[in-house]
A and B are shown apart, each in its own frame.
Chain A
Amino acid sequence: MRRRLRQMIPSMFHRRLLLLVLVAIGVLGVLTVQTARLTLASGYDDRRASAQDALFTPQLVPTVRGRIFDRKGRILAEDRPGTEVAVSFEVISGEWAYLQARRAAYVDHRSAWTGMSDAARERLIQSYQGPFDEQVRRLWVTLAEAAEVSPEMLAERRRDIQERVAVLQGFLWQRWRERRSAELGRPVSWDEVTEPIAEQKQAHAVLDQIGPVVVSRLRGFIAEASGDGEAAEALRVWREVVVRPTRQRVYPWSETTVLLETATLPEPLATQFNNEPVAVDVKGVGVHLLGRMRPVYAEDAQRRPYVKEDGTIDLAGYLPGDRVGEFGLERTFEDQLRGVRGRIVRRVDDASVSSNTPTQAGEDLHLTVDISLQARIAAAMSEEIGLMESQGWHAKPGEVENVGERLNGAAVVLEIETGEVLAAVSVPTMPRDLLEREPATLREDPIDLPYLNRVVARPYMPGSTVKPLIVAFAVSSGELGPDEILDCSRGYLWEGSPNVYRDWRVKAGGAPFGPIDAVEALAVSSNTFMGMLAYRLGPERLSDWYARVGLGRRTGSGLPDEISGTIPQPPYRAANRAAVERDNAFIAIGQGPIDWTPLQAVHAYATLARGGVVIPPRFVQADTLTPPDVIERVPLSASALDVALDGMWSSANESQGTTRHLSYLGRAPIWNAEGVIVRAKSGTAQATPLRIDSDGDGRVTRDDPIVKRGNHAWVVALVQPEDSARPTHAIAVVVEYSGSGGQVAGPIVNQVVHAMQAEGYLGGVRGVVGGPR
């Protein structure tokens, strides 16, 4: 073979050349085979498809978030189309003038540019920067004037944006660095990751909700700037301005005016207003319930990404620029309200539409809340009226130390038949403008906690308001006959401990109640009576009863910040049975390791009023929520219901009743609404004084100063129109660190009743209310 080759090609050089040619042919052959495989083999069809896919650009069509209505069909929240002005981040950060100066300097000194030292270049750039700085300055002035806002406000807006972007940038760079370092298996320096983030390349909204006149004026500037010539050059910065449509979430009822009758207020307050109606501006109506929208966070995108892990697209997924319900019902029903964006896919070359997924608007939400009633109650509890202000008559003369101080608390109204919440007011309210402008002042107030929805998110010891429930539990368990009389003539529960567990009248130096039945015990709010029932029921059964009427677990009303409250959890150790029994006696009067929320209070009372039928309270109408499969029933007996209701009636209506009169205002009656039957029970729950961490060590200790002290004042009421056979509504009011239950909360519940009548409930005729603003 070799010899034959040598014979054929005698020259060794030529044979070597032949070898090289063969190698070349071989190598090119390999390339040919691979190219043929890529171009022809079916295994690469997906690549062919992907090359074509790149020709189609998807365009997203924003959806409309669902509206929120109140029970009477009034719009509480909706997306309103508007116009906003956005300015590129370069201009906001101030970098724009420098970059423009640099560009202009380069154009004029192109040939010398590369030869210049850095310092000389910077000097040259600086000499060009003046006019551009002036352009930027004029831009802000023009924008402020056009939109009629102060230049300071605009400057603050810019600072906010810069701050937000800086925080985000720090976060992202850190993450990029970690990721890159993991990828390369070595530490990565900052220089390798410090690229501008998307937010630094975007335009950010500096003005929103601008009117059509301003829009056309600003559009004029932008159009002028986009032309050629010197005039356009002088307006160059306007090329960085965009006027674009937006959808703003608006809450029309957040602020309203209520005309409030003052004649029904306790006398000292009514006198202040000469018994004349006053117009009260209420801010932040229903804000705790509705919530608010915030920008999208990384967690949202994680929870529901736009591009799912398998690469498919979820049009309802989150993208930068989306808004998300931050708290309240906006958050709970985020998925229903949100809607699904549309997607139009067009070919880039001929703009033909290849697919079109239409948008799906978000579902509307219908609330059980009557926003007008909500506003009226909020007005009654507003600063102007004085019911939520510490008054001398809130407790025994001399006992109220902080007269004039603003009080915090909550009020809730529940329709018994349906479990629907008609109103839920938490004081202090959150004015929406403050929430948008300086949310920190609301969120970081450690004393008043305005952010907290006190109706569902703060636990309070119930105090004596549990007593009607205790009586009902005992009668239903057969541990107390409906007419059974217990001897309370000692005035205290435990022999030999006259100061520990006693009746209030004994404590006040009065006579013991003597032998009384359950109705009377409720009317006078006897502790010893309940203590005796506690021993009959025992701790296990009492805990069980409490749990059955909804204590110790979330009611499932639909508010995201709802808490469960506390009840004692059996089993108990036999060794300290006596101590457990003693604790149990306190738990039967709503003290000790037991607390609930105002919503749980009305829920428990409504369950009692329904004779044991449990209907979870709700803020959203039934067709939105799935109704429970099984209606739960608590085995409360009819006679138990009778005794409890009679006791509450007696407490609110008979002269000995503790929820009947304003003891320190000449025994004036608490209740003054016509045509309404009120059954109520007050409660004065001992509260641990509120201390705040003043030295910043992260702990609250005894060294920290007390900022609030006093009892939590409760009244829970069952009300009905006179012609109704049964209670129709349950009302609970709690006022923190105030005074005696009936004295503080009673007049507020009374105002709630008036508000309900004014809105057509409880046999009332609907009056005039301010509309949404």
Chain B
Amino acid sequence: MLAKLKLLLRPHPGWYALLAAVGLALMGTAAIGTVSEHFASLQTTRWLPLGLIAVAITLLPPPRLLGQLSYVLFGVAVALLVFVVLPFVPRSVVPVINGATAWIDLGFFNFQPAEFAKVAFILAVAWYLRHRESHRRRLGLLLPFVLMLVPVGLILKQPDLGTALVFAPALLVMLVAAGAKLRHLTALLSVGVTAIVINVVIILYAPADMQVLAPHQQVRIKAMAAQATGDTQYLQNIGYQQDKAMTLVAAGGFTGLGERSATVVKYNKLPYDYNDMIFAVIVNRWGLLGAVAVFGLYLLLIGSMLLVAARSQDPFGRLVCVGFAGIILTQAVINMGMTVGLLPITGITLPLVSYGGSSLLFTLVMVGLVLNIASQPRRPLARPSFEFENGDAIFQ
């Protein structure tokens, strides 16, 4: 037991990840405090302690056990996702919040199965890919993508486009790390990008009867294009949130408004300022410096997670770390990208920073698992993994 604790506490890059995570969470709490004392105190007295307990718990199981359980966990996640979209589930259990059935009411806490599904998905994919070579063939890529489409489809059904969006980049990142052929991935990526471009072109230029996306999604794209060209027609409705977010970001300037920010944010009436739009509050309060600090902390977070992956000799552990880094960064980039007007608005939290139980809890679970992997003892003569180009010439 003591030996285990000693192993856990030994210095390794995982600690930097935890440091960055705590840093982001503290910054987030301060930002939430700017707009709502109530949510800030809930975050510090309830969700952060709960998250840190979760970190402690996730340090315990050996990664191999998690791997063996990963398919089961993924199955449970899918089952929960199915449960929330079932039409006959009573609304007292699965309430409609902001138009989506994304939460299960546990009484003390609204649990969001999609957040759990993210973790389970990464674990399952990592477990699946750990000894495989099939993903270096075109057809072999198919199965991981099918695996991804199950939760993504269910989450889109809720509907929660934002959360669904982060799965594909995470899978892509894991495939890159797992040694899939870059030209296959590039081809896939270009197909995806082309699809997006075609969609945007259709929305902006094609007649109404040729549209593919749902009207409310079309309008968001149009609103963004309108904003970029200085057209104000959407500002009062669909473009309102993004416009207000960008306004508050701009108002932050280099060093931010400091204490005054609370009033400015309040009277600019930014919706969801304590969760999805928290980055706007951060920049408003601490300016470009605050933004750079957030970017830096994220870079530190995912950098150290990747460093853990680099140092790990266990292929499952490696891919888990890469997957978590990928999913956290994707989510952060989408969130901040929409706040600064680079991406259309969609409901997605800023990991570790936004207010929110499930999101914070499961992001900290990811950090905990990375710590766990980092604390595994190095084994001499471990088999190299994902070294396809130089064969078995190199042993790590």
Which residues of A does B touch, CB under 8 Å? 6, 10-14, 16-17, 19-21, 24-25, 27-28, 30-32, 34-36, 38-40, 44, 47-48, 50-52, 54-55, 57, 114-115, 183-186, 348-349
Contact between chains at B176 and A51 (CB < 8 Å): no
In the complex, how many angstroms separate the beta carbon of B316 from the nearest chain A beta carbon?
A: 13
A12-B386, A24-B329, A47-B246 known; A185+B268 contact, CB < 8 A = no
> Contacts of A16 on B, CB cut-off 8 Å?
176-177, 179, 386
In the complex, how many angstroms separate the beta carbon of A205 from the nearest chain B beta carbon?
A: 30
Give Cα distance in the complex from A257 to B322, angstroms.
Answer: 96
A17-B177, A20-B177 known; A28+B248 contact, CB < 8 A = no
Please indicate which of the listed interface residues A10, A17, A186, A349 has the most CB atoms of chain B within 10 Å of its own CB: A17
Q: Which of A17, A27, A38, A186 contacts B249 (CB 8 A)?
A: A38
Contact between chains at A51 and B92 (CB < 8 Å): no
In addition to A31-B340, A186-B208, 6 A-B residue pairs with Cβ atoms within 8 Å of each other are: A10-B390, A12-B388, A16-B386, A21-B303, A24-B329, A47-B251
A17-B177, A20-B177, A39-B291 known; A27+B329 contact, CB < 8 A = yes
> Contacts of B302 on A, CB cut-off 8 Å?
21, 24
Contact between chains at B340 and A20 (CB < 8 Å): no
A35-B249, A47-B251, A54-B269 known; A348+B263 contact, CB < 8 A = yes
Residue of A whose beta carbon sits closest to that of B251 = A51
In the complex, how many angstroms separate the beta carbon of A21 from the nearest chain B beta carbon?
A: 6
> Contacts of B384 on A, CB cut-off 8 Å?
11
> Contacts of B326 on A, CB cut-off 8 Å?
20
Contact between chains at A39 and B333 (CB < 8 Å): no
> Contacts of B386 on A, CB cut-off 8 Å?
12-13, 16
> Contacts of B336 on A, CB cut-off 8 Å?
31, 35
Asked if B298 CB lies within 8 Å of chain A CBs, one says yes
A21-B306, A35-B291, A40-B253 known; A55+B267 contact, CB < 8 A = yes
> Which 10 A-B residue pairings sit nearest by Cβ, starting from the closest?
A114-B92, A51-B251, A47-B250, A185-B208, A44-B250, A13-B386, A54-B268, A54-B267, A39-B288, A35-B291
- Chain B 364-396 residues near chain A, CB threshold 8 A: 384-390, 393-394, 396
- Chain B 294-340 residues near chain A, CB threshold 8 A: 295, 298-299, 302-303, 306, 309-310, 318, 322, 325-326, 329, 333, 336-337, 340
In the complex, how many angstroms separate the beta carbon of B336 from the nearest chain A beta carbon?
A: 5
Asked if B215 CB lies within 8 Å of chain A CBs, one says yes
Asked if B149 CB lies within 8 Å of chain A CBs, one says no
Contact between chains at A35 and B333 (CB < 8 Å): no
A12-B386, A14-B310, A20-B173 known; A35+B208 contact, CB < 8 A = no
Q: Which of B253, B292, B340, B387 contacts A13 (CB 8 A)?
A: B387
Contact between chains at B299 and A28 (CB < 8 Å): yes
Give Cα distance in the complex from A36 to B340, angstroms.
Answer: 10
In the complex, how many angstroms separate the beta carbon of B305 from the nearest chain A beta carbon?
A: 10
> Contacts of A35 on B, CB cut-off 8 Å?
249, 283, 288, 291-292, 336, 340
> Contacts of B393 on A, CB cut-off 8 Å?
10
A sample of 30 inter-chain contacts (CB < 8 A) reads A10-B393, A10-B394, A11-B394, A12-B390, A13-B386, A14-B310, A16-B176, A17-B310, A19-B176, A20-B176, A20-B322, A20-B325, A20-B326, A27-B329, A28-B298, A28-B299, A31-B295, A31-B333, A34-B340, A35-B340, A38-B341, A39-B283, A44-B246, A44-B250, A47-B250, A114-B91, A114-B95, A115-B92, A184-B219, A348-B263
- Chain B 193-226 residues near chain A, CB threshold 8 A: 208, 215, 219
Contact between chains at B215 and A185 (CB < 8 Å): yes
Contact between chains at B264 and A34 (CB < 8 Å): no
Asked if B252 CB lies within 8 Å of chain A CBs, one says yes
Give Cα distance in the complex from A10 to B264, angstroms.
Answer: 53
Residue of B whose beta carbon sits closest to that of A28 = B295
Give Cα distance in the complex from A11 to B264, angstroms.
Answer: 51
> Contacts of A32 on B, CB cut-off 8 Å?
291-292, 295
Contact between chains at A51 and B390 (CB < 8 Å): no
Report whether over half of chain B's contact residues are helix, strand or loop; otherwise say mixed: helix
Contact between chains at B105 and A39 (CB < 8 Å): no
Give Cα distance in the complex from A349 to B267, angstroms.
Answer: 10
Contact between chains at B310 and A28 (CB < 8 Å): no
- Chain B 83-101 residues near chain A, CB threshold 8 A: 90-92, 95
Write the B264-286 contact mask toward A (1 if CB under 8 angstroms, else 0): 10011100000000000001100
A14-B310, A32-B295, A185-B208 known; A39+B247 contact, CB < 8 A = no
How many of B's residues come within 8 Å of A, CB to CB?
Answer: 62
Q: Which of B251, B254, B309, B333 contacts A52 (CB 8 A)?
A: B251
> Contacts of B177 on A, CB cut-off 8 Å?
13, 16-17, 20
> Contacts of B92 on A, CB cut-off 8 Å?
114-115
Number of A-B residue pairs having CB atoms within 8 Å of each other in the complex: 141
Asked if B143 CB lies within 8 Å of chain A CBs, one says no
Contact between chains at B176 and A38 (CB < 8 Å): no
Give Cα distance in the complex from A21 to B283, angstroms.
Answer: 24
Residue of A whose beta carbon sits closest to that of B269 = A54
A11-B384, A25-B299, A114-B92 known; A348+B267 contact, CB < 8 A = yes
Give Cα distance in the complex from A55 to B322, angstroms.
Answer: 45
Q: Which of B247, B309, B333, B388 contacts A17 (CB 8 A)?
A: B309
> Contacts of A12 on B, CB cut-off 8 Å?
179, 386-390
Asked if B287 CB lies within 8 Å of chain A CBs, one says yes
> Contacts of B288 on A, CB cut-off 8 Å?
35-36, 39-40
Give Cα distance in the complex from A57 to B253, angstroms.
Answer: 23
In the complex, how many angstroms separate the beta carbon of A191 from the nearest chain B beta carbon?
A: 13
In the complex, how many angstroms separate the beta carbon of B32 from the nearest chain A beta carbon?
A: 19
Contact between chains at A39 and B287 (CB < 8 Å): yes
Give Cα distance in the complex from A121 to B308, angstroms.
Answer: 55
> Contacts of A185 on B, CB cut-off 8 Å?
208, 215
Asked if B342 CB lies within 8 Å of chain A CBs, one says yes
Residue of B whose beta carbon sits closest to that of A347 = B263
Q: Which of A19, A34, A51 contacts B268 (CB 8 A)?
A: A51
Give Cα distance in the complex from A47 to B252, angstroms.
Answer: 10
A12-B386, A17-B322, A21-B303 known; A40+B219 contact, CB < 8 A = no
Contact between chains at A24 and B179 (CB < 8 Å): no
Please indicate which of the listed interface residues A13, A24, A183 has the most CB atoms of chain B within 10 Å of its own CB: A13
Give Cα distance in the complex from A27 to B353, angstroms.
Answer: 19
In the complex, how many angstroms separate the beta carbon of A752 from the nearest chain B beta carbon?
A: 60
> Contacts of B340 on A, CB cut-off 8 Å?
31, 34-35, 38
Please indicate which of the listed interface residues B252, B267, B394, B396 has the most CB atoms of chain A within 10 Å of its own CB: B267
Residue of A whose beta carbon sits closest to that of B342 = A34
Contact between chains at B249 and A39 (CB < 8 Å): yes
In the complex, how many angstroms separate the beta carbon of A606 from the nearest chain B beta carbon?
A: 57
A13-B177, A28-B298 known; A48+B251 contact, CB < 8 A = yes
In the complex, how many angstroms separate the beta carbon of B377 from the nearest chain A beta carbon?
A: 20
Give Cα distance in the complex from A25 to B296, angstroms.
Answer: 10
Residue of B whose beta carbon sits closest to that of A57 = B267
In the complex, how many angstroms separate the beta carbon of B76 from the nearest chain A beta carbon?
A: 24
> Contacts of A186 on B, CB cut-off 8 Å?
208, 215
Give Cα distance in the complex from A633 to B306, angstroms.
Answer: 100
In the complex, how many angstroms separate the beta carbon of A360 from the nearest chain B beta carbon?
A: 29
In the complex, how many angstroms separate the beta carbon of B19 from the nearest chain A beta carbon?
A: 18
- Chain B 333-358 residues near chain A, CB threshold 8 A: 333, 336-337, 340-342
In the complex, how many angstroms separate the beta carbon of A309 from the nearest chain B beta carbon?
A: 12
Residue of A whose beta carbon sits closest to that of B289 = A39
Give Cα distance in the complex from A131 to B43, angstroms.
Answer: 41
In the complex, how many angstroms separate the beta carbon of B310 from the nearest chain A beta carbon?
A: 5
A27-B329, A114-B92 known; A48+B299 contact, CB < 8 A = no
Give Cα distance in the complex from A185 to B209, angstroms.
Answer: 9
Write the B251-264 contact mask toward A (1 if CB under 8 angstroms, else 0): 11110000010011
In the complex, how many angstroms separate the beta carbon of A2 from the nearest chain B beta carbon?
A: 10
Contact between chains at B179 and A13 (CB < 8 Å): yes
> Contacts of A17 on B, CB cut-off 8 Å?
177, 306, 309-310, 322
> Contacts of A11 on B, CB cut-off 8 Å?
384, 387, 390, 394, 396
In the complex, how many angstroms separate the beta carbon of B286 from the nearest chain A beta carbon?
A: 10
> Contacts of A6 on B, CB cut-off 8 Å?
389-390
